Amino acid sequence: MSFDLNFIGILIGAIMASSVPLILAASGELITERSGVLNLGVEGMMIIGAISGFALMVISDNLFLAVIGSMTSGLIISIIFGVLTQSLLTNHVATGLALTIFGIGMSAMIGKNFVGIPGKEFPLLFVNLKENIPFLGPILFGHSVILYFAFLLPFLTNYFLKKTKIGLIIRAVGDSPTSASNQGINVILVRYSCILYGGAMCGLAGAYLSLIYTPQWIENMTGGRGWIALALVVFATWSPIKVLIGALIFGGITISQLHMQAVGLRIPVQLLSALPYIMTIIVLVVISRDSRKIKLNTPTSLGQIFYKEK
């Protein structure tokens, strides 16, 4: 194994690229959950985003349209969840699971005609700088615009939740929808908006997979990343920055365990394969063991059905 600096830079760049879908989906779901809604449909919304992004790219040959379309379709599918849980007051967990199953089936059906079509090259920024600057080049440059957005997002989310009025309203709704409602806040509207935002971000996460990371359509191509994003939100105790850390650790160990195998380290492969899951949980549990902060961040009404008494 070569330990030169440039190689480590390339490795870090690869790790960043692999954690993007997790960051996007988890950041979206985090906002949804902070408003008190537990949407287990992340995987389903991601896969719908992946197929719509890819289908639009093939049909229109326009990547911008494809990205916007994937977010829109994630948003549309989350409306189903919104109507069911907020207006018809169905159970969040059951509805979310149904949404995932629906999304996987629906995407497979739409995707039938898009199998076996190669994707289009997605423009990468500052490719020259990547090749000319050792170490920092491959880390900072040569990525897609979505990657830069993904790495900004947790900080924006953090600022949004803590420093803005709308962020405060969302947190209030998540902690005690009844009191928020008594204050004159339209709880249903806030929750709807958060669900839609979460849907759009999951759609974008899916599009990242089908347009940039592995540019093609294959059934079930999200491969469980939605579930990992969901788990990240919980283990990061609803803190956007910790979501980012968790996603990087997960991506980091996934990639380095493949390198360790290629080098031929004599560690049981099964252990290496399990390592990303184990380490991510351990690290997140350790960095978020402050119980006061957990209480502060946990949306108390998570997953509970709210209906306004008239």
Partner 1 sequence: MYKNFLRYIISVLFFLGVSGQANADFKVGFVYVGPTGDHGWTYQHDEGRKAVEAAGIKTTYVESVPEGADAERVIRQLAQSGHDLIFTTSFGYMDPTNKVAKDFPNVKFEHATGYKREHSNVSTYSARFYEGRTLLGHMAGKMTKTNVIGYIASFPIPEVIRGINAMTLAAQKVNPDIKTKIVWVFTWYDPGKESEAAQALIDQGADVIMQHTDSTAPVQVAEKAGVWSFGQASDMQRFAPKSILTSIIDDWAPYYVERSIAARDGTWKQQDTWHGLKEGMVAMAPYNSAMGSDLVKEVEQLQKDLASGKTHSFTGPIYDQKGNILVAEGSVADDGMLAGMNVYVKGVEGDIPQ
Burial string for 253-284 (b: 16+ CB within 10 Å, else e) reads bbbbbeebeeeeeeeeeeebeebbeebbbebb
Residues 6+ apart with CB under 8 A from 113: none
Q: Which is nearer to partner 1, 173 or 230 (CB)?
A: 230
Using the rule CB under 8 A, is 141 a contact of partner 1? no
Q: Which is nearer to partner 1, 45 or 51 (CB)?
A: 51
Using the rule CB under 8 A, is 10 a contact of partner 1? yes
Using the rule CB under 8 A, is 229 a contact of partner 1? no
Report CA torsion sign: 185, 239, 227, 103: positive
Residues 6+ apart with CB under 8 A from 200: 28, 71, 72, 74, 75, 78
Using the rule CB under 8 A, is 268 a contact of partner 1? yes
- 188 and 87 Cβ atoms separated by less than 8 Å: yes
CA distance 210 to 107: 12
Contact segment (CB under 8 A) with partner 1 among 139-147, 169-177, 220-228, 241-249 equals 220-228
Among 88, 165, 184, 264, binds partner 1 (CB under 8 A): 264
Residue located via tokens 């977010």: 71
Q: Which is nearer to partner 1, 60 or 273 (CB)?
A: 273
Using the rule CB under 8 A, is 303 a contact of partner 1? no
Using the rule CB under 8 A, is 209 a contact of partner 1? yes
Using the rule CB under 8 A, is 7 a contact of partner 1? yes
Residues 6+ apart with CB under 8 A from 186: none
Using the rule CB under 8 A, is 207 a contact of partner 1? no
Record the tokens describing residue 201, joined without a space. Answer: 């971000």
Contact segment (CB under 8 A) with partner 1 among 94-102, 104-112, 187-195, 277-285 equals 104-112
Using the rule CB under 8 A, is 6 a contact of partner 1? no
Closest CA to 103 of 137, 78, 132, 68: 78
Using the rule CB under 8 A, is 115 a contact of partner 1? yes
Contact segment (CB under 8 A) with partner 1 among 72-80, 115-123, 198-206, 286-294 equals 115-123
- Residues that bind partner 1 in the complex, under the rule CB under 8 A: 1-2, 7, 10-11, 14, 18, 108, 111-112, 115-116, 118-119, 209, 213-216, 218-221, 223, 225, 254-255, 258-259, 261-264, 266, 268-270, 273
